[in-house]
Amino acid sequence: MTRAYHRRDDAGSGDVNWRLAACKGEPLENWFFSEAWGSRPAREIRYSIRHCRSVCAQCPIQRACLRSAMENDEYGFWGGTTRGERLELRKRLRERQQERIALCPCG
């Protein structure tokens, strides 16, 4: 199974032209991890993640893809990150925001 544009049915969601995605045409199973991954050898999983990262590294819309995944709590590999990495990133961003609010002299 391959993707028509990326992982969206619409080619231009918001300000992102998903047709430019470097992962266009890649097999979906490389990008959407499921419970079935638990039965795959660790070496195969690491290879798949490295492959995804290398594709994302050359993608012209990687930042927009990551932003979309962060905003929509997407499942799978988006913008060079796994869902677990995005959850950790979201947690760190929330902590930084709380620190800024606490330091704000405006009360």
Predicted confidence (pLDDT) per residue in 55-104, tens digit:
999 999 999 999 999 998 888 899 999 988 999 999 998 888 887 777 77
Gap between the Cα atoms of 18 and 98, Å rounded: 33
Gap between the Cα atoms of 99 and 31, Å rounded: 34
Predicted confidence (pLDDT) per residue in 6-34, tens digit:
444 444 456 789 999 999 999 888 888 66
Q: How far is CA 11 from CA 3, 4, 38, 44, 68, in A?
A: 11, 9, 32, 31, 14
Q: How far is CA 56 from CA 65, 103, 107, in A?
A: 9, 36, 42
Predicted confidence (pLDDT) per residue in 27-65, tens digit:
888 888 665 566 778 888 888 889 999 999 999 999 999
Q: What is the CA radius of gyration of the chain?
A: 16
